[in-house]
Amino acid sequence: MSTYWRTFKTAAWLGWQMDSNWTEPWLFVIYSIVKPVAGAFILIFMYVVIWSINGIPDPHSFAFLYIGNAFFIFVGSTLLGTFQVIQSDREWYQTIRYVYISPISYYVYILGRAFSKIVVSVFAVLITLAFGVFLLGSYGVQMQLSLDRLPLFFVSLALGLFVLLAIGITLGAATFLMARHSQTLAEAVPGVFYVFCGVLFPLTILPSWGQAIGEAIPLTYWFEITRRILLPFQLNTGLAGFDDLEILAFLLVSTVIFFGLSIGVFKLGEYLARRAGKIDMTTSY
């Protein structure tokens, strides 16, 4: 068994134990259902408030933001899953020195730990989508996923998750050198993506500089193609000039670039931390 696979498998097992083993299985299942449903209720509330202010319902916009928010669950949890590994192993469990000096790739270890977060997120996204389709149809949440579009959906989903992991590890490398600010980073970066990647509203609502930022972030293309596949209608998002394969190509190229970048930045962060003696620092922040 290759070192990489063994590392990934063991780290994923550890991550899963930490994500799921904190309570009784039945309570974990209830929590896993209630949490995304509660998130959906926040969206309904936001939509109803906007509806009452405008006086007219806008079911297409609601469906747009609902799908965006459902898939944004992957963003929050995957980024947190990668960011937190170094911080938690170093400060909370104080195991980082023993993991780090074992004959593994620490990069792959982080991927494995984050994988369990993705698994938990899949469950949350499915529940959110099912809740929307079966209970919020009257608000405009509709989905269509034809069999011939399934491969495109899974390819784009895989690329989206890969790019999220790459971004997470790139930023996680910075946490090698940080103490208290890593939590701030973990909250701020998903916030930037939430605003600029067309999660809540189309890019066209943003000023031109905001649209330029959004177009430079690969997640924008992931949200775009996901909506194109799942929604039976399209809003003007500013990317209408590109067909599905072009959007997918953007996503693929940016995924490859971000993965290369993540390896380089991770190696640099690791080297600088080892040089500064910060790999296993504990600060009690």
The stretch near other proteins (CB under 8 A) out of 8-16, 44-52, 63-71, 244-252 is 8-16
User: Binder to other proteins among 4, 18, 60, 153 (CB under 8 A)?
Assistant: 18
74 or 100: CB nearest other proteins: 100
Say whether residue 8 binds other proteins (CB under 8 A): no
Pick out residues in 22-61 that bind other proteins (CB under 8 A): 22
Site size toward other proteins, by CB under 8 A:
29
The minimum distance between CB 17 and other proteins, in angstroms, equals 6
The minimum distance between CB 118 and other proteins, in angstroms, equals 19
The minimum distance between CB 90 and other proteins, in angstroms, equals 10
Which residues 6+ apart lie within 8 Å of 261 measured at CB?
166, 170
User: Binder to other proteins among 180, 181, 267, 274 (CB under 8 A)?
Assistant: 274
Say whether residue 283 binds other proteins (CB under 8 A): no
The minimum distance between CB 102 and other proteins, in angstroms, equals 4
Pick out residues in 77-116 that bind other proteins (CB under 8 A): 93-95, 97-104
| Site of interaction with other proteins (CB under 8 A) | 1, 3, 6-7, 9-10, 13-14, 17-18, 21-22, 93-95, 97-104, 274-277, 279-280
